Amino acid sequence: MASEASNKNKYFCPDCGEKLIFKHGLKNTAHFSHQNHSNCVNSEPETEQHLQGKSYLFNDLITFEKGVQVEKYLKPIKQRPDILIKNLAIEFQCSPITNQRLRERIEGYYQIGMVSFWILGSAYLQKRVNSMAVLRFMRYKESVGFYLVFLKVTQKRYLLRYQIHQIDNQIYYSEKLFSNWQELLNYLHNSAGFKTTTPSLLRVTSLIEMNLRSSNHNFIKLQNHCYSNGVSVSGCPLVCHYPRIIPPLFGNNWLNWRIEIILKLNEVTEIPIEELYKAIFLKQTFDYNFPFIKSIEFFYHRAFLDFINVLCKQQFIQIKAGTAVKISEFVWYRDTYAKIKAIKKIKKEVKK
């Protein structure tokens, strides 16, 4: 460990053999670095936050786990995880990383029979909650749903952002702090309650109108498609907004696929369920860059079936021998104002 090193000794990189510089001081965490213009694959400079976080992780983990190693060089894949525990590589990610590089790192560990667990630094915590730069690190566990783990270095606390879900274009979640690794693991392995607030249909109706007025590319494209079918996206059927909660994997295409399904059912009136799924979802441009989500299509398919179930419950379709059969017409509204009027009328009737 660099914290045990001394200026009196000489140190060399175990990977490339180059002489290392020992850096330490009152403000900086003790660490080794390569000379400028080094050719070593592991010569990238580290931020102070990364150094402190790595040190904290090591000191925390050694109290609960055996065989914890810092920056163990894995020669077959030329990678050096921040922390290594047997076949688990823990990475503390503070700086930006491209999608390609992230996948290469994950695949590298996988090639030698290891799994990687990525903990995010403050730069990621400060980004917008719906930023793909952050959401791509999501994992899924039945007990806590979709989740992310951050390390708040100055507080020496792990932050779990869990039960991440999407309602319309917004991402919602719960958060909980943990003082050590074991507390975090215990929580991840135990079922947690699910709580959320559901925005009104008035909000989403206004949101659609706002996106159209601001010439949002996705909505303009969807509007043109609706126009070609003689309807308007701003007046899409209320059923398009149910179920309210969907997996946080749809990005800006949260409405597109539901409208596509309804338009398809208007066109053919009956179609095998799986054929409908393939016809709609293979055309969508979802962001599939979620490298830690195994079988991501499972979640898309489940969201599709949830919507089909809503269509059945609201008696728009029936399922006969695996085929969706339309049994009533979908109500499209003339414009935003007509739709808002209908929503308010329904709310009044519910209160009676």
What is the mean pLDDT of the segment spanning 166-173? 95
One domain, residues 183 and 209: no
**Do 177 and 52 share a domain, yes or no?**
yes
Q: What is the pLDDT of residue 193?
A: 73
Judge whether 93 lies within some domain.
yes
Nearest alpha carbon to residue 55 among 24, 79, 31: 31
Q: Is residue 193 part of a domain?
A: no
Query: What residue numbers bound the domain in which 67 lies?
Result: 46-188
Are residue 178 and residue 270 in the same domain, yes or no?
A: no
Is 174 in the same domain as 229?
no
- pLDDT, position 225: 95
pLDDT tops 90 at residue 36 = no
Domain count of the fold of the chain: 2
Return mean pLDDT, the chain: 90
Q: Which of 188, 217, 243 is the last residue of a domain?
A: 188
Q: Which of 188, 220, 239 finishes a domain?
A: 188
**C-alpha torsion angle, residues 83, 87, 88, 94 (rounded to 10):** 50
Q: Would 2 be classed as within a structural domain?
A: no
The token pair that represents 33 in the structure block: 């670095």
Domain identity same for 213 and 150: no
Same domain assignment for residues 177 and 228: no
Among 163, 188, 213, identify where a domain stops. 188
**Are 166 and 172 a contacting pair, CB within 8 Å?**
yes
Contact 117, 90 (CB under 8 A): yes
Residue 25 within any structural domain of the chain: no
Token pair 């983990």: residue = 61
My answer on whether 205 and 103 are in the same domain is no
pLDDT at residue 1 greater than cutoff 70: no
More confident residue, 27 or 339: 339
pTM: 0.86
On whether both 292 and 231 belong to a single domain, the answer is: yes
Q: How far apart are CA 88 and CA 2, in angstroms?
A: 22
Condensed to tens digits (0 to 9), the pLDDT of residues 336-350 reads: 999 999 999 998 887
- Give yes or no: residues 215 and 334 share one domain: yes
Q: Are residues 207 and 297 in the same domain?
A: yes
Same domain, 225 and 287: yes
* Domain assignment present for 284: yes
Distance from C-alpha of 192 to C-alpha of 16, rounded to nearest angstrom? 47
| Whole-angstrom distance, CA of residue 351 vs CA of residue 163 | 31
One domain, residues 96 and 162: yes
Please indicate, yes or no, if residue 4 is contained in any of the structural domains: no
Q: What is the pLDDT of residues 203-235, one digit of tens each?
A: 999 999 999 999 999 999 999 999 999 999 999
Assess if residue 30 is contained within a domain: no
**35 DSSP 8-state letter:** P
Q: Give me the pLDDT at residue 286, please.
A: 76
Query: Which amino acid belongs to residue 34?
Result: H
Give the Å distances, CA to CA, from 210 to 207, 213, 219, 335, 336: 5, 5, 10, 13, 10
Residue 352 pLDDT > 90, yes or no? no
Residue range 302-320, pLDDT digits in tens: 999 999 999 999 999 999 9
pLDDT tier for residue 32 given thresholds of 50, 70 and 90? low
- In percent, the amount of the chain with pLDDT more than 90 equals 78
Q: Is 10 within a domain?
A: no
Residues 160, 165, 171, 172, CA torsion sign: negative
